């Protein structure tokens, strides 16, 4: 696995339950569970406490401007709504959508709904 065996942990359980009880710190946390804004909001807040300095949160289904990314007319609004709320409440967070990737993605495009949440200066809140 690209030399990362022992450095990656996949957790298959309710994210909120896991993050409330975990004492471990992470460099990268990938959130792709519930897409309800209230759940994503809670997940990001909990994940921030589990990040190492300069750690990142990777979000899936992040639709900047709450606009469709592909021609399928799908927009999932929870992650962007949660990020907008957190952006107002936590001025030391950045939400950085990937936009386009250098390889093909969904519907013969190179657009992605991935975004990174980073703590400015390695510290949030």
Q: What is the pLDDT of residue 101?
A: 96
Q: Which residues lie across from 58 on neighbouring strands?
A: 30, 116
Residues 58 and 40: their CA atoms lie apart, in Å, by: 12
Q: What is the pLDDT of residue 7?
A: 77
Q: How far is CA 2 from CA 26, 28, 49, 105, 116, in A?
A: 19, 16, 28, 22, 22
Query: 60-75 pLDDT, tens per residue?
Result: 999 999 999 999 999 9
Q: What is the pLDDT of residue 12?
A: 82
Regions in the chain scoring below 70 on pLDDT? 1, 121-125
Q: What is the pLDDT of residue 1?
A: 53
Stated pTM of the model: 0.87
Q: Which residues contact 108 (CB under 8 A, 6 or more apart)?
A: none
């Amino acid at each position: 696995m690209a030399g990362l065996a022992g450095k990656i942990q996949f957790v298959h359980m309710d994210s909120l339950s896991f993050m409330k009880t975990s004492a471990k710190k992470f460099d990268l946390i990938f959130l792709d569970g519930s897409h309800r804004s209230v759940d994503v909001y809670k997940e990001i807040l909990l994940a921030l406490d589990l990040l190492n300095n300069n750690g990142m949160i990777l979000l899936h289904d992040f639709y900047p401007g709450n606009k469709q990314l592909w021609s399928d007319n799908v927009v999932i609004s929870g992650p962007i709504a949660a990020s907008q709320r957190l952006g107002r409440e936590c001025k030391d967070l950045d939400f950085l959508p990937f936009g386009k990737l250098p390889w093909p993605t969904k519907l013969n495009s190179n657009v992605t709904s991935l975004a990174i949440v980073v703590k400015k200066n390695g510290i949030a809140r």
